[in-house]
Amino acid sequence: MNLNQTWLIPIVAYLLGSIPFGLLIVKILGGGQDIREVGSGNIGAANVARNAGRFAGVLTLLLDAAKGYAAVWLAARWTHLNIRWMMVAAIFAVLGHMFTFWLNFHGGKGVATGLGVFLPICWQAVAAAAALWLIVVIFWKYASLGSISAAAALPLFIYILYAPGHAPPEFVSFGTLLICVLVIAKHRANIERLVSGTEPRIDKRED
């Protein structure tokens, strides 16, 4: 890509991130059901799995992660691995998922897409965050608590694992922190339910 065309990167990243896979998958596999009208109303993998089945949930997780990965991978290809533009793509892909114009700027909470965008940036940090998520879910049975814990820890994992022995570029640290704050902010209702004890566990389907 010509340097004068790099302004397309955030637009392409946003458009990729805005594809509402959870909504589309449930409509296709669920006979036209709108996932926004059941459970928590979220289009992410956890609500899809809880209300449309594990297969639909896993498929949503994989595709939401894939669109985040694709956005950053394309930015890397277009700019010869320029980390600043890769982080720009990461931020806009997550924003696209959270505030998709297809759904009147509503969307998911950014967990799976966030997972995908950081894979080309620092897969080691993603692996550590995924392991933390799994540990929290196994012990406490709350997908949201696992997601909040992983998001809170990811900036530290990036700082330690991006370039062992060296601090990552400031833009990477800032971009990571911004994405993680957005993910946690999107979980505000989950945090309130966790505090009140009304958050549904991962092993229970909602009516």
At residue 100, the 3 state secondary structure works out as strand
Which helix (H) or strand (E) segment is 89 a member of?
Answer: helix 83-98
Task: Render each residue's pLDDT in the chain as its tens digit; 207 residues.
Answer: 655 689 999 999 999 999 999 999 999 997 789 999 998 889 999 899 988 999 999 999 999 999 999 999 999 999 999 999 999 999 999 999 999 999 999 999 999 999 999 999 999 999 999 999 999 999 999 999 999 999 999 999 999 999 988 999 999 999 999 999 999 999 999 999 999 999 988 765 443
In a domain, 101, yes or no: yes
pTM of the model: 0.93
In a domain, 203, yes or no: no
Domain range enclosing 129? 3-196
Largest CA distance in the chain: 53
pLDDT score recorded for residue 206: 43
In a domain, 148, yes or no: yes
In a domain, 207, yes or no: no
3-state DSSP helix/strand/coil % of the chain, to nearest 5? 75, 0, 25
- Structure tokens of 8? 């397309």
In a domain, 133, yes or no: yes
In a domain, 202, yes or no: no
Q: What is the DSSP letter of 163?
A: B
How many domains is the chain partitioned into structurally? 1
